[in-house]
Amino acid sequence: MNDALLIDRLQFAFTVTYHYLFPQLTMGLALLIVLLKWIGLKKNDERYHRAAKFWAGIFAVNFALGVITGIPMEFQFGTNWARFSRFAGGVIGQTLAMEGVFSFFLESTFLGLFLFGEKRLGRKAHFATAVLVFLGSWLSGYLIVATDAWMQSPVGYLIGSDGIVQLRDFGALLLNPWALWQYAHTMLGAVITACFVVGAVGAYYLLADRSHQYGELFIRVGVTVGLIASILVLFPTGDQQGKNLAHQQPVTLAAMEGAFTTQQGAPLTIVGQPDMDKMKMDNPAHIPNMLSFLTYYRWEAEVKGLDAFPREQWPDNIPLLYYSYHIMVGLGTIFIAILLVSVFLLRKSRLFHSRWMLWILLLSFPFPYIANSAGWLTAELGRQPWIVYGIFRTVQGTSTTVSAGNGLFTLLGFLGMYFVLGVLFIFMIIRKINKGPEEPIDLQSSHTSG
Amino acid sequence: METLWFCLVAFMLAAYVILDGFDLGVGIVHLLVGRNAEERKQVLAAIAPYWDGNEVWLLAAGGTLYFAFPLLYASSFSGFYLPLMIVLWLLMLRGGGIEFRHQIHHPLWISFWDTLFSVSSILLAIFFGAALGNVVRGVPLNEEGYFFEPLWTTFTVVPDAGILDWFTILMGVIAGCTLTSHGALYLAMKTTGTIQERSRSIASAAWWSVAGTSALGLIATSAIRPQIWGNFSTYGWGYIFPALALCGLCGIWVFGRKRRDAAAFISSSVFIGAMLSTTAFGLYPNLLPSSIDSSPAITVSRAAAGTYGLNIGLVWWIIGIVLALGYFSFVYRTFRGKSTPETPVSEGY
């Protein structure tokens, strides 16, 4: 791995991971805001509108950061991955351009109306703007996932005589089976993040003995929606993703699971440290036959291990891939447990007085961010050493004219810039949470004359 | 088909320059037009509901460029690596200036973000002008169509010049003057009272700088890249674009004198659109000329994606842009009217 390639990869990985901290909350909150406003309209209950307004203030800051950190992503395909862009632009340019033309205009326009226009528009029209912001952000998510899905499982293309990929079937690109499951899985992950954040703010209010009615409302919405999402993220969406992998990227599945050798009745590794020199798992904790069952629904099915594939097809960072996957799955399981207990206590009307559970809800909000990031790391590390699975390798994709020195300059620049942005973001969010929902952030302040 | 996409991408870029141009211009004159925090808030309120929608045109144009001309996207984005990254950072800082300013009501905090907003707007205008200058001048392409330019070398126009040489700096200055005028005209249209008066006087002073630097730019372009006039002698109807630009420039002057602010702003938009069209018309069929004699330019046919993709793209592009234009007219109608001291700025943002 020469330096420029390493720096290009680090820069993309860093900027995209940082970027995705924001959209996951944006997309999840968009759904919850629509839900809150809808309940508010149906019950004609002012509290829900206020709650929606409170979260809209947080949404707005978060959205702005998502936009600011998202622009570099679109640029970096060209700046750092010029040969990849030239190779694949005819296909993935479609979905990326569609995102700009369809979702960005939709989101930016109606977010402005949603934030500034409640009084001018009236209740119903204001609800409609919330729905359109939700649609815009979820459409954006789909087009990005469809782009990634094509890189994971290329469809609907042909390679021209010049060695460049051309689009052959637009429908296949948009309805890539890989994209549909990955999208459902990703969006549910985003909803889980939003639910934990909403729940954590609610728990904070109750523990701090303030804003009781909103605290209870936030927790109720957060844990209820969160439980549904955290179950669906495991089954069927996560399960189907695994099936897709077994079918199309079996070597990735083997690496994720830490399966070094091909076995019938393969065990599922719960914990353990992969030792790449000795090609074995240290300190493993297994569930016998479980991997065979989960992958093929047969206890004795044969699951291919890494030894079944030539080395040049192995993902290039197997330990990190293995840990990312196990962190994601492990946290996902813990989320279900936390939310099950919370919903149980909620039904028994004990949740709001169980301080220990409120503490758990308060402290657990960072973990969905970790799980979502780990999930993306799993997907993208698992795709290596390919940039487009099976047809174009990552080493072939960089910009030949951009030197390692120039790459490092901008990588360091991004580190500095994002550190400052992160500090400002946290500061503003804390201020908004401390201000609380009773004095709603005055989104349209006084009237506008003229 | 490639020619059509050339026009569509040029249209999107022109829309970006005209729309984001006015809020960049507002940023340039921000510190001059508003003399205290209250006045500056009013200035920002005039662009608050629009600026990020305007910026989306840059993203949408970038995406469309990527899908229609992958080679151009790959070549220019990697070749202009450093200035693009700097533009990105400036866009971030500028967005921060607008969004973070209202979070704390402390004079130091507010003046810091106001200054940052204004300085980044000035630098962005200059960089965008210099970028256009690079496209006109040509870049040192290799046989595969890639290149890399440092920020500057000797500031002279030589085949291996940097991003900044005297010609591209001149183009940057033209862009700075033009957007100063554009932004001031926008504020004259959208504000009242003292701010409106100041905007008008800045606009009328800026007019002279626009006229003067544009004339210089015309002479310099003819000296550096005389080929740009080739298309005009072949297709005489192309002269409609420079003629329109001249009309726009006169319109700014005439309507400015008569205090018809909206008409003056529209003239300014016509001027910018026509200047960009003139450049695009002169460049065609080149997308990126080569400054090295032995290597060929990147042309529309060399850079274009496959025909099937371009055809399909036309269908969704038209639907998408019609929708976008619909949203824009809706937002501009909803928030029409002047920005007064009571107009909200992006509080929740």
**Predicted confidence (pLDDT) per residue in B47-75, tens digit:** 887 888 888 888 899 999 999 999 999 99
Question: A167 and B347 in contact by Cβ < 8 A?
Answer: no
- Predicted pLDDT of residue A450: 30
Q: Give the count of alpha carbons within 13 A of B217, CB side only.
A: 27
Residues from chain B contacting residue A417 (CB–CB below 8 Å)? 89, 92
Q: Both tokens of residue B189?
A: 């249209």
Q: What is the pLDDT of residue B155?
A: 82
Ramachandran category for residue A122: left, alpha or beta (phi over 0 → left; psi -120 to 50 → alpha): left
The percentage of residues in chain A with a pLDDT greater than 70, rounded to a whole number, is 97
Binned at pLDDT 50, 70 and 90, residue A177 comes out as: very high
Is B77 an 8 Å CB contact of chain A?
A: yes
Q: Return residues 125-164 of B near A (CB < 8 Å).
A: 142, 144, 146-148
Distance (Å) from the C-alpha of residue A150 to the closest C-alpha of chain B?
A: 15
pLDDT class for B150, splitting at 50, 70, 90?
A: confident
Q: Report the alpha-carbon angle A32-A35-A36, nearest 5.
A: 85
Neighbours of B194 (CB within 10 A): 13
Instruction: For residue A112, count other CB atoms closer than 10 A to its CB.
Output: 25
Domain total in chain B: 1
Kindly state the average pLDDT of the residues B167-173.
Answer: 93
A338, A356 in Cβ contact below 8 A? no
Average pLDDT over residues B310-322: 93
Q: Is the distance from CB of B4 to CB of B64 less than 8 angstroms?
A: no
> What residue of B is the nearest CA neighbor of A411?
B85
Concatenated DSSP letters of A209-227: T--HHHHHHHHHHHHHHHH
- At B196-225, the pLDDT tens digits run 999 999 999 999 999 999 999 999 999 988
- pLDDT-based confidence at A439, cuts 50/70/90? low
- Residue A412 near residue A282, CB atoms below 8 Å: no
Query: Is A99 in the same domain as A197?
Result: no
Which residue in B196, B340, B347 has the most chain A C-beta atoms within 10 A of its own C-beta, making it the best mutation to test that interface?
Answer: B347
- pLDDT above 80: residue B348: no
Domain extent for B88: 2-334
* A370 lies in the same domain as A241: yes
CB interface of B with A, residues 249-268, below 8 Å: none
Number of other CB atoms surrounding residue B86 within 10 Å: 18
- The answer, yes or no, to whether residue A440 has pLDDT greater than 80, is no
Q: Which of B192, B337, B348 sits opposite A60 (nearest CB)?
A: B348
Of B346, B344, B341, nearest to B101 by C-alpha is B346
* DSSP summary character for residue B339: B
**In the predicted model, is pLDDT for residue A447 greater than 60?**
no
First vs last C-alpha separation in chain B: 41
Locate A417 and state its tokens: 């810039």
- For residues A261 and A388, state if they share a domain: yes
Residue A444 confidence (pLDDT) above 80? no
| d(C-alpha B332, C-alpha B349), whole Å | 19
Burial of A163: CB neighbours in 10 Å, binned 0-12, 13-18, 19+: exposed
Alpha helices in B37-100 (DSSP H): 37-45, 51-68, 70-79, 81-100
Smallest Cβ–Cβ distance between B74 and the set A85, A112, A117 belongs to A85
Q: HEC string of A167-178? A: ECCHHHHHCCHH
Across the interface, whether the CB atoms of A68 and B91 are under 8 A apart is answered: yes
Contacts of A91 in chain B (CB under 8 A): 309
Q: For B66-111, write each residue's pLDDT tens digit.
A: 999 999 999 999 999 998 999 999 998 898 888 888 888 889 999 9
Residue A119 located in a structural domain: yes
Pick from A78, A104, A450: CB nearest B60: A104
Mean pLDDT of A145-154: 96
Contact B73 A164 (CB under 8 A): no
Distance between CA B349 and CA B337 in Å, rounded?
21
Same domain, A239 and A328: yes
> A288 preceded by cis ω (within 30°)?
no
Whole-number pLDDT of residue B345: 57
pLDDT at B344: 62
Domain assignment present for residue B344? The answer is no
B342 vs A448: CB contact, 8 Å cut-off? yes
Contact (CB<8Å) A71/B78: no
Min Cα distance A437 → chain B (Å) is 13
C-alpha closest to that of B228 among B148, B297, B149, B173: B297
Query: Pairing relation of β-strands A157-159 and A268-275?
Result: unpaired
pLDDT at B290: 87
Residue from B16, B19, B44, B56 whose CB has the most chain A CBs within 10 Å, to mutate:
B56
Using CA atoms, how far apart are residues B157 and B223, in angstroms rounded to an integer?
11
**Among A362, A333, A22, CA closest to A218:** A362
B312 vs A: CB within 8 A? yes
Tell whether A151 and A221 lie within a shared domain: no
d(C-alpha A49, C-alpha A119), whole Å:
13
- Whether chain A has a CB inside 8 Å of the CB on B73: the answer is yes
> Quick one: A351 and A203 in the same domain?
yes
Q: E strands within A170-267?
A: 263-264
Q: State which residue of chain B sits closest to A85, comparing Cα positions.
A: B74
pLDDT bucket at A348, cuts 50 / 70 / 90: very high
Q: What is the pLDDT of residues B288-312, one digit of tens each?
A: 888 887 788 899 888 888 889 999 9
| Predicted local confidence at residue A2, as pLDDT | 59
Q: Which residues of A touch B73 (CB under 8 A)?
A: 77-78, 85-86, 89, 93
Is B212 an 8 Å CB contact of chain A?
no
Cβ-defined contact of A93 to B346 (cutoff 8 Å) = no
Q: Tell me which residue in A60, A94, A403 faces B67 most closely, judged by beta carbons.
A: A94
Separation of alpha carbons A89 and A103, rounded Å = 19
Query: Does one domain contain both A73 and A219?
Result: no
Residue B339 is assigned to a structural domain of this protein: no
Q: Which residue has the tokens 């930016």?
A: A108
Enumerate the residues of chain A whose CB falls inside 8 A of the CB of residue B142. 401
Please give the residue that has the higher pLDDT: either A152 or A119: A152
Give contacts of A82 with chain B, Cβ < 8 Å: 74-75, 77-78, 146
Domain that residue A238 falls in = 192-396
Residue B158 has a pLDDT of: 80
Residue A77's pLDDT band (boundaries 50, 70, 90)?
very high
CA distance A284 to A170: 46
> Mean pLDDT over all residues of chain A?
92
Identity of the residue in A64, A91, A446 whose CB atom sits nearest the CB atom of B349: A64
Which pLDDT does position A223 carry in this prediction?
97
Note whether A241 and A303 are same-domain residues.
Answer: yes
Question: Is the domain of A168 the same as that of A200?
Answer: no
Low-confidence winner among A41-55, B157-171, B311-325 (lowest mean pLDDT) = B157-171
- Examine residue A206 and state whether it is found in any structural domain, yes or no: yes
In three-state secondary structure terms, A263 is strand
What global pTM score does this model have? 0.92
Residue A421 domain flag: no
A336 and A224 in a common domain: yes
Angle between helices B261-283 and B193-224 (to 10 degrees): 20
B346 belongs to a structural domain: no
Do residues B248 and B274 make contact, with C-beta atoms less than 8 angstroms apart? yes
Tokens of B24: 């960049």
pLDDT at A16 over 70: yes
Per the document, the length of chain B is 349
Residue to mutate among B47, B57, B77, B147, with most A CBs inside 10 A, is B77
Residue with tokens 């750092």: A80
**Other CB atoms within 10 Å distance of the CB of residue A447:** 10
Enter the tokens of residue A61. 């800051």
Q: Do residues A3 and A89 make contact, with C-beta atoms less than 8 angstroms apart?
A: no
Instruction: Write out pLDDT tens, residues A244-289.
Output: 999 999 999 999 999 999 999 999 999 999 999 999 899 999 999 9
- Beta pairing partners, A286: A269
- Report d(CA A151, CA A383) in Å as an integer: 8
Chain B residue at shortest CA distance from A69:
B92
The number of domains in chain A is 2
Does position A449 have pLDDT exceeding 50, yes or no?
Answer: no
Of the partner residues A89, A115, A409, the one whose CB lies closest to the CB of residue B66: A89
Per-residue pLDDT band for A94 (boundaries 50, 70, 90) equals very high
Which of A98, A160, A448 is the closest to B344 by Cβ?
Answer: A448
Q: Please give the structure tokens belonging to residue A418.
A: 């994002």
Establish if A181 belongs to a structural domain.
Answer: no
- Please report residues of A whose CB lies closer than 8 A to that of B16: none
- Residue B318 is assigned to a structural domain of this protein: yes
Averaged pLDDT for residues A398-424: 93
A166 vs B81, B309, B344: nearest CB: B309
DSSP states along B134-166: HHHH-B---TTS-----SBSSSS--TT--SB-H
Query: Do A169 and A186 form a contact (C-beta atoms < 8 A)?
Result: no
Q: Of A396, A422, A443, which closes a domain? A: A396
Domain assignment of residue B75, yes or no: yes
Q: What is the pLDDT of residue B49?
A: 77
Q: For residue B83, is the peptide bond before it cis, meaning its omega torsion is within 30 degrees of 0?
A: no
Structure tokens at B292: 């090295």
Residue B345 lies in a domain: no
Q: Predicted ipTM?
A: 0.90
pLDDT of A116 > 80? The answer is no
B95 in a structural domain? yes
A230 CB-near residues (< 8 Å, 6+ apart): A188, A192, A332, A335, A336, A339
